[in-house]
Structure 1
Amino acid sequence: MSEVSEVRRNTQTPEAKRERPLLRLLMLALPERQLLITALILLLIATVCDVAGPLLIRYYIDDHLVKGDFWSAQVALMLSTYIVCLVVAALCSYQQAIRLNDVALNVIQRLRERVYARALRLPTRYYDDTPTGTMISRITNDTEFVKELFVHVVGAWVQNGFRVVGAFVGMALLDVHIMLLCLAFLPLVLLIMVVYRRLSTPIYQKARALLSDINSNLSESLQGVRIVQLFGQQKEFIQRFTRLTNEHFRVRHRNLKLDAALLRPLVDLLHSMALTALVFYFGQRSFVESVEVGIIYAFISYLGRFIEPINEITQRLSVMQQASVAGERVFRLLDSSEAPEFDGSKTPPNHRIEFRNLGFRYQDQGPDVIRSLSLEIPPGSFTGIVGHTGSGKSTLMSLLLRFYTPQRGEILWGGMRLSEISHIDLRTRIGLVPQDAFLFPGTVYDNITIGRLAGELGARTKPEVQALLAQYGLSAAFAALPQGLDTELSERGANISSGQRQLVALVRALVREPEILILDEATASVDSETERLVQRALLGLRGKMTLIAIAHRISTITEADQIVVLHHGELIEKGTHTELLAAHGVYNTLYKMQRQELLIATQATTPPAPSET
């Protein structure tokens, strides 16, 4: 589901709900109380010094300049005080800006760490519906916009808020009536801000959603660039990307027009109206009494000190709205339920696995993938699982690994429910070799020991890994790599063959010394030599740990203690290889089909015998 379709359901959001992300973002700064308090004190000092400037100039004009007193000891004192106020205001503003930026950077660092940690703890089901590009967008782009809130909005709003209050205090010290006249324009400014927020929120929501879809499109097209080129789909992908970017441009253009209409122009209009009202007031007053030039200067100066902060605040409304929408997306991720940690402290007495009347579906309203399945896997045994594509083989192992939770039935390990075993204990006792082995950039040795970092309990040195390879007859396969265990791998291990990737994944699982080893169609897409190596390794592991092999090639599991046949999520046959062949059921059919395919493939690759002359 795209982000745009999701945001369409949220555009008619109540105001209270829209305010909550912004409030939650601001609450993130509470751990930085000391820095905030120091910054506010510095800002207060800077504001007092800023307010004092026009008052000093007013007294100089009316009490000295008008009377011809251009220079005296009192004037020198006023000038010195004025200069000191300017210097102190500048220094305090600089120091408070640094502290507010420190607050912002600390908040964003903690937020990014929280978002990344939550992303790693989310259940697998969450990623079934959320594209990788969307997740990357939330962790990087959205948190970057939140940073803009703290760096460019919060500091500016606090600083300019103090300046506005200071300007009105300075006006009140001179003339309360004129201050009230200027204050009458403040509700109009607040009205502009409220209207802007209401109109801009759905625009920013759609813009952020489109940007997320653009990232998703980029991620999938670049990861699958070989397939795109193989099928000649460059034009179609470019057109899809162009449609997204054009739509994003149109939405952003609407936002720019809204900014141009409601922000600076309207505030400038209010400034002109306030200045006109001020001049008219002093003009009317001059007919009744004399008006001091210094007061006029001071009020015009304070009016500028009132309007300019308002302009800065309104100019940052756009950034605030983007940060608020980005924060809403980030909190949607943070509020997602984590995968259960299973805080049980029990240790299974043995490795017997039992599935009891298991039922599972990926979607609440979707079809059953596993149906009333019951199966027992004795400890130390070798169990093979076969079946047509979509029969539920991999899903069954995902349930055992707690990637998903079954809706019906239960899974027992040593007579204990999986929920009674801790999450860490569960995962460390099970090794998995997936069909599509995911390798990280780094050396082969780094990928093998990824589960046991240097210095940790059970960490493996290179000699220990080499001994493990020799134990299972895999030394020659790894010695064939350009630099052996020190071979540098590119992203996803693209610079080695699929068979070599599978062997790395197998050793990575074995180095953890698991009690249960699961091979999820690990030989489905490898060559016959790699399959032979895997089979030999399995025979060496037999009896040392419980082996569960989901097999596409039946030849991999012919020596298994029991073979389970799944069909549409149901267990329909179970027995040894010989017993199942004798039963002439689904397994027998699968075996004959693979034998026939192998025979045809062998004949196709065997050159014809030379004709006799």
Structure 2
Amino acid sequence: MTQSTGKRLLQYALTAKKTFIAALLLLTIGVAAELAGPFIAKSMIDNHLLAIEKPYFETASPEDAAEYNNNYYKRGDRFAADEVKGQEIRLLQAGRSFYFINEAVAQTEGERSFSDGNLRIQYGDQATVYPAVRLSADDLFSFYKPEFPGIYKLVALYAMFLVISIIAEFGKTYWLQSSANQVIRKLRTDVYAHIQRLPVHFFDNLPAGKVVSRVTNDTEAVKDLFIAVLSNFATGIINITGVYVALFLLDIKLGLVSLFIVPIIIVWIVLYRKIATKYNTIIRSRLSEINAIINESIQGMSIIRIFRRQKQSSAEFEQLNDDYLKYQNKMLNLNAFTSHNLVNSLRSLSFVLVLWYFGFGSLDGSTFVSLGVLYAFVDVLGRMFQPITGMVNQLANLDSSMVSAGRVFTLMDEPGEPVTDGSMPRYKGDVVFKDVSFAYKKDFVLRDISFEARPGETVALVGHTGSGKSSIINLLFRFYDPQTGSITIDGQEVKDLPKQWLRSHMGIVLQDPYLFTGTIASNVSLGDERISRERVERALREVGADKLLSHLPQGFDEPVIEKGSTLSAGQRQLISFARALSFDPAILILDEATSNIDTETESIIQQALEVLKKGRTTFIIAHRLSTIRSADQILVLHRGEIVERGSHDELMALGGRYFRMYQLQLGAGAGNGAEAPASGAVTSSTSAAGLRPSLEQI
């Protein structure tokens, strides 16, 4: 049973755990530094700005004291233990003015008013009156002056925490993105490496564009998960945790009441993902299909133009694009309906609770708090909604990333071929098929195939399309394994040999050779360090490639773009011959290697073939029967069975299927070696593509 997507993403995250942990630590420090602000503001308000209403006492020392009417007064909480306190006085505010009371005040809570030199404090049914003097601005400033050092310290502390927060934010962002890039690099490398291990038949039914989309678009979406989503959710969780710690420190009851936000967020995320996952699955699928159709259109652009299929291709693309847009709009509607509505509702509800708690509580005297506590509580609570907004706004990216990660891991869960290190000695190439039957799905395409190809022999496979020629080669390469029968090389069962070892001594030249972006020389060596530059040039000369490539400005270092589209078919074919020769395979497969070559180039190709075949077991799939006259053994296939076998002369003498095929290709005089009739005959240089309809009828 495969692991969940979340667990597998966690395993990848652990590959960069040091930077992730460093980022999260900096995030925690940054959050703590930010949340220190309201507590500093609370201290500034309660201990300095509003603390002027605390009891003052007359003192003889001017240190930390305020001067008024030639006397010094100091706040009661600033006296040393052994310092003598004099007469107690109070400074109380009424309206917009402060008043000096030269005596202790028992009750400061209540409604205050000043008239006729008296300050009246009305609390419920009780009223107290104290003689008071209105303070001038200078007098009031003298009482605030001792508070300045403490205020300066708090401002400096706030600035320090601000700098810490800025540094932590930078470090968090840098390390988080750095670790995310490391994770995605490993994920992409693993996906690409797994693609290399997937069996060839896996790609028969999956368009290249969809595979490319998994490696590029889907992994990039996973990157967003580690950068944007993880950042916002980690920031949000740590922020919310810090906020709740701060709320409980300020007021335990209201902290408990404020916990209602957490379950609402969790339920919201669960419900959102249920709907969004359905949409995102379709969106990612449509994006893969768009990539597939673009890739297919680019690959077949010439065919589209020739057959004037531009409108049809555009219509197919537009249909996919419209469907993609439809589900993107559904996601947009979902996000617009949920994100800000949720946050605004939670914010409004929480502030209603705060007003209710402090408002009604203060009326009956049950929850009296200082102005600093109230300010800090509102500030801290307000700070919680920024990370909540960030989390809610990232829900779309979260779900999209999880869907993309699921698609990537689904591809990685496809069973791949085991990779075995090491190699085996070069085998001689004695190939034996014994009673081999094979079916791709249900219907058998090969039935009871038996033959032997001795080392150094050339075996030609001929027959109409679908007769089983390519299937024999697929079995030889172990792209597939037969249902019944056995295939041995030098007496060893191929199923018992690691596929990499088996293929390391095989070479193939295709009808349409594939060249990679690079140079001619790099396409011969394929970057294999064992193949020296000297060996590359010798292989190119031996197959006669220097004759066709001599006019190129940079010779064997001439750049080659994708698939070698700037080179002719003959040039590409000779490069592929040189590639096979440089790897020195024991078994060589030529898959219609001369079918696309012009007559003039064919003579060079034929010479190259002789060089290639020397000392190797060679299998030739050919429609041009004139190219296999020298084969040691010709196998004629029909509907998955070998119906004739022998040399060219033996099969011609037999007068069967091979004889009729040869006559069709070379004319009625081919059987006795006479020149083909000038009228209506088909020459050996005629393309096999034009003859296949005739071959299909046999």
The normalised TM-score by structure 1 is 0.90
After superposition, the Cα gap between the structure-2 partners of 1:138 and 1:294, relative to the gap in structure 1 and judged at 3 Å, is: same
* 2:251 alignment partner in structure 1: 175
Counterpart of 1:39, as a letter, is A
* 2:30 alignment partner in structure 1: 46
Counterpart of 2:30, as a letter, is A
Counterpart of 2:593, as a letter, is A
CA distance in structure 2 between the partners assigned to 1:495 and 1:442 by the alignment: 12
After superposition, the Cα gap between the structure-2 partners of 1:54 and 1:537, relative to the gap in structure 1 and judged at 3 Å, is: same
After superposition, the Cα gap between the structure-2 partners of 1:74 and 1:475, relative to the gap in structure 1 and judged at 3 Å, is: closer
TM-fit CA distance, 1:349: 5.6
CA distance in structure 2 between the partners assigned to 1:95 and 1:540 by the alignment: 63
After superposition, the Cα gap between the structure-2 partners of 1:83 and 1:533, relative to the gap in structure 1 and judged at 3 Å, is: same
TM-fit CA distance, 1:172: 0.3
CA distance in structure 1 between the partners assigned to 2:284 and 2:504 by the alignment: 39
Matched, 1:408 2:408: no
**Aligned residues of 2:246 and 2:380 also touching (Cα < 8 A):** yes
Secondary structure at the aligned position of 2:504 is classed as: helix
Coordinate RMSD, CA, aligned:
2.4
TM-fit CA distance, 1:280: 1.5
After superposition, the Cα gap between the structure-2 partners of 1:333 and 1:163, relative to the gap in structure 1 and judged at 3 Å, is: same
CA distance in structure 1 between the partners assigned to 2:495 and 2:354 by the alignment: 74
Counterpart of 1:122, as a letter, is L
* 1:141 alignment partner in structure 2: 217
Q: 1:545 aligns with which of 616, 629, 632?
A: 616
CA distance in structure 2 between the partners assigned to 1:604 and 1:382 by the alignment: 29
After superposition, the Cα gap between the structure-2 partners of 1:167 and 1:582, relative to the gap in structure 1 and judged at 3 Å, is: same
TM-fit CA distance, 1:199: 0.6
TM-fit CA distance, 1:85: 1.8
* 1:199 alignment partner in structure 2: 275
CA distance in structure 2 between the partners assigned to 1:469 and 1:97 by the alignment: 53
Which range moved further: 489-498 or 129-138?
489-498
After superposition, the Cα gap between the structure-2 partners of 1:580 and 1:482, relative to the gap in structure 1 and judged at 3 Å, is: farther
CA distance in structure 1 between the partners assigned to 2:165 and 2:416 by the alignment: 49
**Aligned residues of 1:523 and 1:552 also touching (Cα < 8 A):** no
Of the two, which has the highest radius of gyration?
A: 2
Matched, 1:324 2:402: yes
* 2:103 alignment partner in structure 1: none
CA distance in structure 2 between the partners assigned to 1:600 and 1:394 by the alignment: 33
* 2:374 alignment partner in structure 1: 296
Counterpart of 2:493, as a letter, is R
Matched, 1:585 2:656: yes
CA distance in structure 1 between the partners assigned to 2:571 and 2:588 by the alignment: 19
Which range moved further: 79-88 or 167-176?
79-88
Q: 1:79 aligns with which of 146, 149, 155?
A: 155
**Aligned residues of 1:343 and 1:422 also touching (Cα < 8 A):** no
**Aligned residues of 2:631 and 2:647 also touching (Cα < 8 A):** yes
CA distance in structure 1 between the partners assigned to 2:25 and 2:550 by the alignment: 67
Q: 2:14 aligns with which of 30, 41, 53?
A: 30
* Structure 2: gaps (5+ residues): 53-142, 671-675, 684-698
CA distance in structure 2 between the partners assigned to 1:474 and 1:83 by the alignment: 74
* 1:151 alignment partner in structure 2: 227
After superposition, the Cα gap between the structure-2 partners of 1:192 and 1:474, relative to the gap in structure 1 and judged at 3 Å, is: closer
After superposition, the Cα gap between the structure-2 partners of 1:149 and 1:300, relative to the gap in structure 1 and judged at 3 Å, is: same
1:484-504 C-alpha deviation (Å, 9 max, x unpaired) = 423333321112222222222
1:104-152 C-alpha deviation (Å, 9 max, x unpaired) = 1111111111111111221101101110001111111111111111111
* 1:554 alignment partner in structure 2: 625
Q: List aligned pairs for 1:172-571, cutoff 5 A.
A: 172-289=248-365, 290-341=368-419, 347=425, 350-363=428-441, 366-450=442-526, 453=528, 456-461=529-534, 464-479=535-550, 481=552, 483-571=554-642
Which range moved further: 371-380 or 208-217?
371-380
TM-fit CA distance, 1:343: 6.6
Which range moved further: 210-219 or 190-199?
190-199
Secondary structure at the aligned position of 1:172 is classed as: helix
Counterpart of 2:634, as a letter, is I
From the two aligned structures, give the one with the greater strand fraction. Answer: 2
1:141-174 C-alpha deviation (Å, 9 max, x unpaired) = 1111111111111122112211110000000001
The sequence identity of aligned pairs, in percent, is: 37
The normalised TM-score by structure 2 is 0.79
**Aligned residues of 1:481 and 1:487 also touching (Cα < 8 A):** yes
TM-fit CA distance, 1:538: 3.0
After superposition, the Cα gap between the structure-2 partners of 1:293 and 1:602, relative to the gap in structure 1 and judged at 3 Å, is: farther
From the two aligned structures, give the one with the greater helix fraction. Answer: 1
Counterpart of 2:46, as a letter, is D
CA distance in structure 1 between the partners assigned to 2:424 and 2:506 by the alignment: 16
TM-fit CA distance, 1:405: 2.3
> How many residues are paired up?
583
TM-fit CA distance, 1:424: 3.4
Counterpart of 1:311, as a letter, is T
